[in-house]
Homo-oligomer: A and B are copies of this chain.
Amino acid sequence: MTETRVPVPTLERLAIYLRVLLDAHESGIQTLSSQEMEQHSGISAAQFRKDLSYFGEFGKPGVGYSVQGLIACIERILRLDEEQPILLVGAGNIGSALVGYPNFRAHRLRIAAVFDNNFVKIGRPFGDLIIEDIARIREVNAQIGARLGIIAVPAHAAQEVADALVDAGVTGILNFAPTILRTPPHVHVRNVSFLQELAVLSYHAVEDALCVNGQARRGGDDGV
A interface list, Cβ under 8 A from B: 1, 3, 6, 8, 11-12, 14-16, 18-19, 40-42, 55-57, 77-80, 84, 86, 93-94, 96-98, 100-101, 103-104, 107, 109, 147-148, 170-174, 178, 180, 186, 188, 190, 192-206, 208-209, 211-212, 218-219, 221-224
B84 pairs with A202, CB closer than 8 A: yes
Known pairs A57-B224, A171-B205. 10 more at Cβ < 8 A?
A11-B200, A55-B221, A56-B221, A56-B222, A56-B223, A93-B96, A171-B208, A171-B209, A172-B201, A174-B197
Assess A186 versus B208: contact at CB under 8 Å? Given A40-B180, A93-B100: yes
B188 pairs with A208, CB closer than 8 A: yes
Q: Which residues of B contact A173 (CB under 8 A)?
A: 201
Assess A195 versus B109: contact at CB under 8 Å? Given A93-B96, A221-B56: yes
- The complex places the Cα of A88 from the Cα of B84 at a distance, in Å, of 32
A93 pairs with B101, CB closer than 8 A: yes
Copies in the complex: 2
Q: Name the contact of A201 in the complex, choosing from B1, B16, B174, B203 (C-beta under 8 A).
A: B174
Q: Name the contact of A78 in the complex, choosing from B97, B199, B224 (C-beta under 8 A).
A: B199
Please name the residue on chain B nearest to A18 by beta carbon.
B199
Q: Which residues of B contact A93 (CB under 8 A)?
A: 96-97, 100-101
A57 shortest CB reach to chain B, Å: 6
A3 pairs with B55, CB closer than 8 A: no
Please name the residue on chain B nearest to A55 by beta carbon.
B223
- The complex places the Cα of A202 from the Cα of B77 at a distance, in Å, of 9
Q: Which of A96, A200, A219 has the most CB of B within 10 A?
A: A200
Q: Which residues of B contact A224 (CB under 8 A)?
A: 56-57
A188 pairs with B174, CB closer than 8 A: no
